[in-house]
Amino acid sequence: MKNNNYALIMAGGIGSRFWPVSRTTYPKQFLDVLGTGKSLIQNTFERFKKILPVENIYILTNENYFDLVKEQIPELTDNQIIGEPIMRNTAPCIAYGCYKIKQLNPDALVVVAPSDHLILETENFIDIINKSLEAAKENDCLITLGIKPSRPDTGYGYIQYSNTALADNLYKVKTFTEKPSLEIAQTFLASGDFLWNAGIFIWSVDAIIAALDKHLPEMSEIFRDGKGAYNSDTEKDFIQNAFQRCTNISIDYGIMEKAENVYVMPADFGWSDLGTWASVYDLADKDYVGNAVIHPEKVMMYDSSNCMVNVPGDKLVILNGLHDYIVVEANNTLMICPKDKEQHVKQVVADVKQRFGNKYI
């Protein structure tokens, strides 16, 4: 029997917040950020292998990362690595992937998920994805997963939901809110009807294409024109032209915030978007004074606490009198930064690029 369930794993970002370890040529999703022995994209692929056949898993990435994906996930065929010629945010790449899959299987159901998130409770994740796929099969809806918040975090987007249920544990979305202030986040948490936006979507190809037709009609028409090109030798040439014509817009803003049939499934499976070094620190193993060291073999600490340290394993590093700092080194670059100033990393990257060009980026 043909399996109608597919996955689109998004792996096109450059991960600038994890500079200098994450570089434009070797971004965050291809790194073993937590020292587990596997990169983030490899862990994501392994999770989906437990849900779907390997041949139904596709990677959406920048065409410059094609060889990196091939190297890290050799089980994939070339046709399963979908290369974007230019960065145009998430709506165009998701539209491309869904049109490509629809050409293969008009009855397809698709999970869209980031490649660089951490999920600690795999069995719970598998259960919620299977329930979501079943709901998407039975209903004309666009599903997003919402994580039950444990704190008023200002780094996440929030989803407010109503009591209107389409199916078991599937509720109509009322509002989306991007990264609120602390005061507003505290209000959200107290209200009890807000969830963190995990950026994981589940839908049928028919449901998402209908939404594209309604809310992003010009983009939908661009990719509809590729009907004869998908999964053929002419696909790459068609896509080069198609992406040049697409607007730069996210799937959240272009579709999810506008469509009437958007539902959220509350979930709890040990999720983190690993968006910053501080989020890695929160999840990493720590010593008795709170230091998290990814490669501890040659790191010596004196009167130092609550530091996040990621340096090459063969380098001797001594920290003395350092508290609440991020210390990372890679690619001939050393960054030492207070943990509460890490939001400035993106600006630092921009300044380095302006002064030194792309040599260190």
* Spatial separation of the C-alpha atoms in residues 138 and 147, rounded to whole Å: 23
**What sign does the dihedral 22-247-258-58 (CA atoms) show?**
negative
Where residue 198 falls among pLDDT bands split at 50, 70, 90? very high
Residues contacting residue 141 through CB under 8 Å, at least 6 positions apart = 135, 166, 170, 203, 207, 261, 262, 263
The answer to whether 226 touches 199, Cβ cutoff 8 Å, is no
pLDDT at 2: 65
Where residue 38 falls among pLDDT bands split at 50, 70, 90? very high
Q: Dihedral of the CA atoms 232, 233, 235, 237 (nearest 10)? A: -170
Burial 220-256 (b: 16+ CB within 10 A, else e): bebbeebeebbeeeebeebbeebbeebeebbbbebbb
Where are the alpha helices (H) located in the chain, listed in sequence order? 40-49, 66-72, 90-104, 122-138, 182-191, 205-215, 217-224, 235-245, 251, 277-283, 345-356
- DSSP assigned state of 254: I
Render 266-312 in DSSP notation, one character per residue: EE-S-EE---SHHHHHHHS---TTS-EESSGGGEEEES-BS-EEE--
Partnered with residue 147 across adjacent β-strands are 196, 267
Amino acid at 266: P
Where residue 44 falls among pLDDT bands split at 50, 70, 90? very high
CA 130 to chain centre: 19
**Assigned token pair, 89:** 């945010």
**Assigned token pair, 264:** 């959220």
Q: Does residue 9 surpass a pLDDT of 60?
A: yes
The pLDDT mean for the chain works out to 93
% residues pLDDT > 90 (the chain): 78
Of 165-169, 222-226, 250-254, the least confident: 165-169
Domain spans of the chain, in order of start: 5-272, 277-356
**What is the model's pTM?**
0.93
**Assigned token pair, 358:** 């792309």
Q: Residues 296, 299, 300, CA angle at the centre, nearest 5°?
A: 130
* Spatial separation of the C-alpha atoms in residues 135 and 96, rounded to whole Å: 23
5-272 falls under which CATH superfamily? Spore Coat Polysaccharide Biosynthesis Protein SpsA; Chain A (3.90.550.10)
Highest averaged pLDDT of the listed ranges 14-18, 175-179, 255-259: 255-259
Tokens 């989803």 found at = 159
Where residue 265 falls among pLDDT bands split at 50, 70, 90? very high
Q: Does residue 104 surpass a pLDDT of 90?
A: yes
